[in-house]
Structure 1
Amino acid sequence: MTRIEPRAGRREWIGLAVLALPALLASMDLSVLFMAAPWLAADLEPTGPQLLWIMDAYGFLMAGLLLPMGALGDRIGRRRLLLAGAAAFGATSVLAAYAPTAELLVLARALLGIGGATLAPSTLALLHGMFADAGQRRVAIGVWTGAFTGGIAFGPIVGGLLLEHFWWGSVFLVNVPVMVLLLVLGPVLLPESRAGDGGRFDVTGALLSVAAVLLVVHGVKELVHGAGGGWPAAVAGLALGAVFVRRQLRLPDPLVDVRLFRDGAFSAAFGGYVVMIAGSAGLGYLAVQYLQLVLELRPFPAALWQLPTVVATGAGIALSTTAVRWVRPARLAAAALLVAAVGFLLVARVGVDTAPAAMIASYSVVTLGTGMLVPLAIDLIVGAAPPHRAGLSEAGSELGGALGIAALGSVAGAVYRSRFAPDALPAGAAETVGGAIDAARTLPEADTLVADAQRAFTAGFTTAATVTAALLALTAATVTVRLRGT
């Protein structure tokens, strides 16, 4: 006789709303600082690499710890881990909001990443227990996925609205009331759950993976910045990455089943997903600065200009989920990557006097392609991975976002610094375009210096867009071959 699973009631659906909010904030914190970058650069005067670490330390720590935190929740209880992470996330948000130096803000962002890594896997695992009926569970996971993936798109919009009325630290304080709400309602609405056999928690593997990623990224940033210490850090990171892979191959219950990447369809879907998210996030980071510092828009208008990109993402998702009934995944994924590549080529044509509408129209072509690829890639990743490894898609999203900010930000920064090194500005003031413009406005030759800084930043922005277009086209060719039999 077929077993009828109990259906969720009002309590579970209210619990879903409680769980969707931290999922939204966990991903939104990757991009909410985009709008605040010029303001905190002028206030804290970070170096170029420090500004990039402020932007992406959160994403790298969160991506590296999503799967380990999921395994930890299996052992100690998902609700317990969620509530502990919520308390840490709220407290660290206050620390970040009032950070007096760039170094302390980097540390606070890293701690936020650790807290954020407890939120996403715990909320998703709790949903599986709260919604036993398969149909209701699909709806609940769809709501959760929409909140988690939508956070990256809505981050700059929320940041712009807050910056119009408050200081840059306010983009962190918005987290606090949501975490307080979760701490109050969580024990009442959310059931505790554990895995029957959580498996061994590989602390060494978790530390190796995070250290490898951070060292490689630090090395690349230093190399692009012209510092001599980049090579040792990058090589050390690659060596730790090799040790991590060998360790995962030997463990009976690895954090990441690297054997999955031997499957051509899985590796193509995951790789294409990471590259696409990297391009979108990196473009978002640079585009927001372009709107504010080159086109000189206030935060609120700049935030409103982001709305068409969100609409284009939704249109891409709708198009992909409809077209996949008739179009083979290889062709659809390649088309999505090529659409985004065309968008990047259009972005590469912008100048210091481009109209905001033209810039956003080009940007929206990129997000249309992103929306087309994301649901297809997530479906392939989740379908190939075992249930307790489903967090790979979220890890790929956070890793791609952080990589995009680091890589495109480094390329744009290198071009900017090669074209703008004025003697009139104080030492270090020209490290970032926001700091340079803020310092230049106090000098007699302000108009000339500001115009030169804007042209240099635009050159870096368009160079990064051109490089990404080429990478997406290459990825499209690879995905077409690897997904051919899917």
Structure 2
Amino acid sequence: MTSGDAHAATKVMAPYRRRWAALAVLVGSMLLLAIDGTVLYLAVPSLTADLAPSSTQILWIGDIYALALAGLLVTTGTLADRLGRKRVLLVGTAAFGAASALAAFAPNAEMLIAARLLLGVAGATIMPSTLSIIRNMFPEQGERTRAIAIWSAASAGGMALGPLVGGLLLEHFWWGSVFLINVPVVLVFLVAGALLLPESRDPRPGRFDLISAAMSMTAVIPLVYAIKHAISVGVDLQSMLAAAVGVTAGVLFVRRQRRLKTPLIDVELFSNKAFSGAVLANFVAIFALMGVLFFFSQYLQLVRGLRPLAAGLVELPTTVASVLAVAVVGVLVARLGTGRAVAAGLLLGALGLVLVAVAEGTDDILWLAVALLPLGLGIGVAMTLTVDAVVSAVPSERAGAASAISETAFELGGALGIALLGSTVTLVYRASLDLPADLTGATRVAVEDSLATAVNAARDTAGVLEAAQEAFTTAMQITSVVAAAITVIAALIARYTIPSGRKSGTTKNPIEE
């Protein structure tokens, strides 16, 4: 964009009077997406009893949503730049409501997976537009920083709020209600968005490269599938072939982006150490949180015997702490600087994961709730600061590309967290099972598959269900410690890559794309 274009855009967008009301619509959209990413967790036991999915299908139900988001974010962001961000946002929101209704009434696991995939595709059209519209509506840097902080809080708080919303619904309705509730919310957002949101687009978007869009999906999906398949059944020709396809597509994608005049992802941004460190910290923060929370809700219900609402209330401290992060980030940055503050947040999150592992072996449920406080606060701080750090690490004219990469890392981290840490839970669970030698047939197969299926198959078999619950607890503890170790490594990387000096200066151009 030329300086003349930027100046013209500034004159149009600067006086927009309803920006804070419009921000509420955008934050609401982000909150809906974030809640939908985790609201399903508490519904897994009840939908398992109804649809009888396998352990692999349970994982796909959980992470296909975030995987579709991660694979399509950059592509749909580019389309929004061309077609109009408000238009794409509203179309995506309508599609999200339709896919939610389809998921609510899915008759089997396969249909639910397909519906979750469609939800991810629709969500991918919503997320990139929200941050881009915010950047256009707020030309003043201080206001824009506050707006992005509120946007980040909705994302972090929404993930933790999902289990509570799910618990409230599942206390009174069937598992499909966690999806059906989206429909009236979507209708409200469509009306409010049409009235309040301004339209904006890139006047010179460049050529849209369909080949790059296809290659980005081909790089992500086979790699995740290879990891899931290898952990589930072992390394075989199928997993090696999928991994080879993903790696090859990734290499070819990077080479193509280097040659294109208008790439989907500007890979040169990764040569900036601060940018790479912030993206990695963002990725690992959501990786650890989503990977643990996905099975934590099952642990509360299937091991601790809590009802869905009670389980959601136990997880409420994560939500509260994530929201509190917005209030403390300013103090942390002023005292520590951005890099050290991100590292401190990640270390606090790692401590929370260790405390969760310890509390899972105790009888007092209160300790579990207390352990979630440092986890939610630490991850909330890290996520809030890394979004700002990613954008600040690059020149203003490249901030739009930086934002797309940050959002992709966020969603891909969630999908891989569920795939890798979730598969680790399954692997350790099966290795820790101590079943009677005379347990054979369908019951043994069901118990070895997952705890969710064990509860239904071995409810009346003496000692078997207790053995399955003990094995699952061990698996959760080990996985939480593994997640903590990964988070500590990310904290060290953030500390030595993201600058810790105070921010100075202002940006002249409100449309930093």
Task: Decide whether the 8 Å contact of 1:270 with 1:396 is kept in 2.
Answer: yes
Q: CA deviation at 1:429?
A: 2.6
Q: Does 1:433 align with 2:451?
A: yes
Which of 179, 184, 190 is the equivalent residue of 1:172? 179
Q: Does 1:146 align with 2:156?
A: no
Q: Does 1:325 align with 2:327?
A: no
Counterpart secondary structure, 1:167: coil
Q: CA deviation at 1:394?
A: 2.3
Which of 425, 440, 449 is the equivalent residue of 1:412? 425
Cα distance change, pair 326–189 in 1 and its aligned pair in 2 (3 A):
closer
Task: Decide whether the 8 Å contact of 1:5 with 1:133 is kept in 2.
Answer: no
Calculate the TM-score normalised by the size of structure 2.
0.88
Matched residues in 1 for 2:225 and 2:13: separation? 50
Q: CA deviation at 1:336?
A: 2.3
Deviates more, 1:373-382 or 1:317-326: 317-326
Q: Does 1:383 align with 2:395?
A: no
Aligned residue type for 1:293? L
Task: Decide whether the 8 Å contact of 1:7 with 1:136 is kept in 2.
Answer: no
Task: Decide whether the 8 Å contact of 2:67 with 2:221 is kept in 1.
Answer: yes
Equivalent residue number for residue 100 of structure 2: 93
Alignment of 1:176-325 (within 5 A): 176-227=183-234, 228=236, 229-325=238-334
Cα distance change, pair 479–12 in 1 and its aligned pair in 2 (3 A):
closer
Matched residues in 1 for 2:119 and 2:135: separation? 26
Task: Decide whether the 8 Å contact of 1:273 with 1:374 is kept in 2.
Answer: yes
Which of 48, 52, 64 is the equivalent residue of 1:45? 52
- Aligned-residue Cα RMSD (Å) equals 2.3
Deviates more, 1:251-260 or 1:123-132: 123-132
Q: CA deviation at 1:455?
A: 0.7
* Structure 1: stretches of 5+ with no match in the other structure: none
Q: CA deviation at 1:31?
A: 0.9
Counterpart secondary structure, 1:348: helix
Matched residues in 1 for 2:497 and 2:13: separation? 39
Alignment of 1:351-362 (within 5 A): 351=360, 353-362=362-371
Q: CA deviation at 1:220?
A: 0.6
Calculate the TM-score normalised by the size of structure 1.
0.92
Q: CA deviation at 1:132?
A: 4.8
Cα distance change, pair 337–259 in 1 and its aligned pair in 2 (3 A):
same
Matched residues in 2 for 1:330 and 1:189: separation? 36
Which of 65, 81, 86 is the equivalent residue of 1:79? 86
Task: Decide whether the 8 Å contact of 1:275 with 1:400 is kept in 2.
Answer: yes
Which of 395, 398, 409 is the equivalent residue of 1:396? 409
Equivalent residue number for residue 423 of structure 1: 440
Matched residues in 2 for 1:429 and 1:303: separation? 27
Aligned residue type for 1:436? A
Matched residues in 2 for 1:331 and 1:185: separation? 40
Counterpart secondary structure, 2:189: helix
Cα distance change, pair 126–276 in 1 and its aligned pair in 2 (3 A):
closer
Deviations 1:224-262 (A, max 9, x none): 112433222122211111111111111111111111111
Counterpart secondary structure, 2:274: helix
Matched residues in 1 for 2:146 and 2:375: separation? 28
Q: CA deviation at 1:370?
A: 1.0
Q: Does 1:453 align with 2:453?
A: no
* Structure 2: stretches of 5+ with no match in the other structure: 1-9, 502-513
Q: CA deviation at 1:136?
A: 4.8
Which of 19, 30, 41 is the equivalent residue of 1:23? 30
Aligned residue type for 2:496? V
Counterpart secondary structure, 1:46: coil
Which of 112, 116, 122 is the equivalent residue of 1:105? 112
Task: Decide whether the 8 Å contact of 1:295 with 1:352 is kept in 2.
Answer: no
Matched residues in 1 for 2:110 and 2:242: separation? 19
Deviations 1:81-108 (A, max 9, x none): 1222122111111111111111111111
Q: CA deviation at 1:396?
A: 2.1
Counterpart secondary structure, 1:196: coil
Deviations 1:387-435 (A, max 9, x none): 3222332222222111111111000011112233752644753322112
Aligned residue type for 1:154? L
Task: Decide whether the 8 Å contact of 1:23 with 1:123 is kept in 2.
Answer: yes
Cα distance change, pair 398–140 in 1 and its aligned pair in 2 (3 A):
same
Counterpart secondary structure, 2:270: helix
Matched residue count: 481
Counterpart secondary structure, 1:220: helix
